[in-house]
Structure 1
Amino acid sequence: MKAVVIRRYGTTDVLQYEDVEQPRIEPTQLLVKVYASSVNPIDWKIRQGALSLISGSKFPKILGFDLAGEVVQVGSQVTRFQPGDAVYGSTNFPGGAYAEFAAVPENLVAFKPTNLTYEEAAAVPLAALTALQALRDQGNIQTGQSVLINGAAGGVGSFAVQIAKALGAEVTGVSSTQNLDLVKSLGADHVIDYKREDFADGTAQYDIIFDAVGKRSLFQTKRVLKSNGVYISTLPSPQTVVESILTAVLPGQKAKFVLEKPNTQDLVYLKELIETGKIRAVIDRTYPLQELAAAHAYSETGRAVGKIAIAVTS
């Protein structure tokens, strides 16, 4: 099969499109013919070696977490899927989706939303699960609460705006000038242009501040966070980790960070939101698998609006 492989950490030059052996599945896995994947910042952070303490020194590696495709084989202990099923979901760390076939645990996938293309479906898992788990699990979001999404036009942020609205919140989205209309179209009640205004200097107060781009901290935003509000970051930076430990044992404002945990139950929930028209995938660009290096390079600029999709198999 064709796949994009790395044999060392480094720049986009280490991404090599070549023939590799098709994976063999374990009893609890599915063999999925991958039609599409997507790019997440964690993919190129692994490629760069920034997470080498976790991803290790064993090569070659096939990266990529998100996938959508068709089941072609099931393990002996798989009960919910059969060959021919259209699915979407995630691979195990450190990836495996940048390939024509992937071995995927049954508990990390769900049936694909019927109203999405494979490219759109592959844009959902990691980013939408991060947004959902941040707002619902870390923020305990409630109907009527005021929620601010920093980075509202990005991969995670675009889903966060829609999920927060679906859960009944009043949503403020922060983005650049050119993306304000998009953020409004996703359901934001209010928008802030960060090039003209710092939301942390405003007068509005929020129950939840979700920093989907990991650019701020509780300390920097506490003035606009309600006294019992929650600041949530996608980046477990030293400052955020320290703040989360300290605020966990103190009354008042809390600082938390989200580490996405892929699972079938949440994918099914997202599927329901998608099929009822409450959330959709925003795709900036789609690259063929053999141009993954260009897709990574574009993602690294930080200018992508929504997600970058990868077309793996036509």
Structure 2
Amino acid sequence: MRGMRSLRGTSKAVSIFRPARLSSLRSIFTGCRAVMLLRFGGPEVLELRENVPVPNLNPNEVLVRAKAVSIRAGYGRSVFQPHLPIIIGRDVSGEVAAVGNSVKSFRVGQEVFGALHPTALRGTYTDYGVLSEEELTEKPASVSHVEASAIPFAALTAWRALKSNARILEGQRVLVFGGGGAVGFAAIQIAVASGCHVTASCVGQTRDRILAAGAEQAVDYTTEDIEMVVKGKFDAVLDTIGRPETERIGINFLRKGGNYMTLQGEAASLTDRYGFVIGLPLATSLLAKKKIQYQYSHGIDYWWSYMRADPEGLAEIQRLVGAGKLKIPVEKTFPITEVVAAHEAKEKKEIPGKVVLEL
């Protein structure tokens, strides 16, 4: 009883048990809002549900109270079909609500941003996202949650291609197909920060932005022939478009020992079409064939590049964002309650740039 009287007599202790605080804790452990993918289809298959359970944290996991998440499409049917309905989303920016027992890098209340692995089953379109410690980093104070949420998945995809696959070095030449998209624009900034000379293809309205980001040449593919206006050879080509024509041009622009990387590898499409048992070996065989073919014919390395959680890459991205050297412009924001409208606008190409959902 003496301990109880002492507790009540301490104003700081009383503040811990305010009803609002209790309500907040209950909302975490009894459920939260989340956008569910019910089946494969258009934006109409998305549904915002209430009281979706929040799982217990594993020792290395962090519970993030989401402030903003960026939208993206493209979920592999072969991976996710057996698990429907699932929560979608990959990028997130928010505050740490709880940490697992082994988490040392983060504390409750800290502002963070990051991205889930592409095959994660529980996504970020929810009030409370669950990410591993290595999938998060501290959000720089210089950017808002909306700005931060647009960055990690695209930037990690670009970082893996340029840094892990191509291992770009200062002074090298880099060509980016699709420099106006999120991954392409991130790649330009990462390459420029690495001291590379960058050329990018784009459409007219993104040209000025690409040049302002440090690219030395921006080619509008709707009005210019890139093979005519670009001179010399490159050390690395990142193809975010992945058409046969861009692959042909990109391969021919590389010097011997260079690296061609495409984000449009056929592993996902083949496994979706034929299932894992047949599709994955087919994809592996096709990739091996192309690697051998281009090594023999052009002396270059050929890669299918994908995003993955990478603590080293995320730390570098965080540093570049904090220094103002890496940003992905947000074209429009929607409240999470308008998630269907947001995806419809993107699908109809009414919004050319990045779209973010606010919670």
Cα distance in 2 for partners of 1:3, 1:252 equals 48
Which structure has more relative contact order (CA 8 Å, sep 6+)? It is 1
Query: What are the Cα deviations for residues 34-68 of structure 1, in whole angstroms up to 9, with x where unaligned?
Result: 1111123xxx222xxxx121223222210001111
The TM-score with structure 2 as length reference comes to 0.79
Query: What are the Cα deviations for residues 138-191 of structure 1, in whole angstroms up to 9, with x where unaligned?
Result: 112111111111110101011111111000111111111121111111111111
Deviation at 1:225, TM superposition (A): 2.0
Query: What are the Cα deviations for residues 88-126 of structure 1, in whole angstroms up to 9, with x where unaligned?
Result: 112341342000011211121111122110011111111
Partner of 1:194: 221
Partner of 1:148: 175
Residues 127-276 of structure 1: pairs in structure 2 closer than 5 A = 127-204=154-231, 205-216=233-244, 218-237=247-266, 242-247=289-294, 252-276=299-323
Deviation at 1:6, TM superposition (A): 1.9
The yes-or-no answer on 1:15 pairing with 2:42 is: no
CA contact (8 A) 2:346 2:352 kept: no
User: How many residue pairs are counted as aligned between the two chains?
Assistant: 305
The yes-or-no answer on 1:65 pairing with 2:90 is: yes
- Higher-Rg member (1/2): 2
For structure 2, the 5+ residue unaligned runs are 1-31, 267-282
Deviation at 1:195, TM superposition (A): 0.4
Aligned-residue identity in percent: 29
Cα distance in 2 for partners of 1:172, 1:295 equals 32
User: 1:298 pairs with 322, 339, 345, which one?
Assistant: 345
Partner of 2:74: 45
Partner of 2:332: 285
Of stretches 178-187 and 51-60 in structure 1, the one that deviates more from structure 2 is 51-60
Query: In the alignment, residue 141 of structure 2 is paired with which amino acid?
Result: T
Relative to structure 1, the CA distance from residue 32 to residue 203 in structure 2 (aligned partners, 3 Å threshold; closer, same or farther) is closer
- The runs of at least 4 consecutive aligned structure 1 residues that moved more than 4 Å come to 238-241, 248-251, 301-306
The yes-or-no answer on 1:4 pairing with 2:28 is: no
- More helix per residue: 2
Cα distance in 2 for partners of 1:24, 1:103 equals 9
CA contact (8 A) 1:62 1:97 kept: yes
Deviation at 1:202, TM superposition (A): 4.5
CA contact (8 A) 1:65 1:95 kept: no
Query: What are the Cα deviations for residues 187-240 of structure 1, in whole angstroms up to 9, with x where unaligned?
Result: 111110100123245451222111123234543433322233221111113676
Query: In the alignment, residue 210 of structure 1 is paired with which amino acid?
Result: L
CA contact (8 A) 1:282 1:305 kept: no
Deviation at 1:304, TM superposition (A): 5.2
Deviation at 1:25, TM superposition (A): 1.7
Cα distance in 2 for partners of 1:304, 1:158 equals 17
Relative to structure 1, the CA distance from residue 84 to residue 294 in structure 2 (aligned partners, 3 Å threshold; closer, same or farther) is same
Q: In structure 2, the residue corresponding to 1:228 is in which secondary structure?
A: strand
Deviation at 1:241, TM superposition (A): 6.2
Of stretches 243-252 and 225-234 in structure 1, the one that deviates more from structure 2 is 243-252
Query: In the alignment, residue 102 of structure 2 is paired with which amino acid?
Result: Q
CA-based RMSD of the aligned residues comes to 2.1
For structure 1, the 5+ residue unaligned runs are none
Q: In structure 1, the residue corresponding to 2:163 is in which secondary structure?
A: helix
Residues 109-124 of structure 1: pairs in structure 2 closer than 5 A = 109-124=136-151
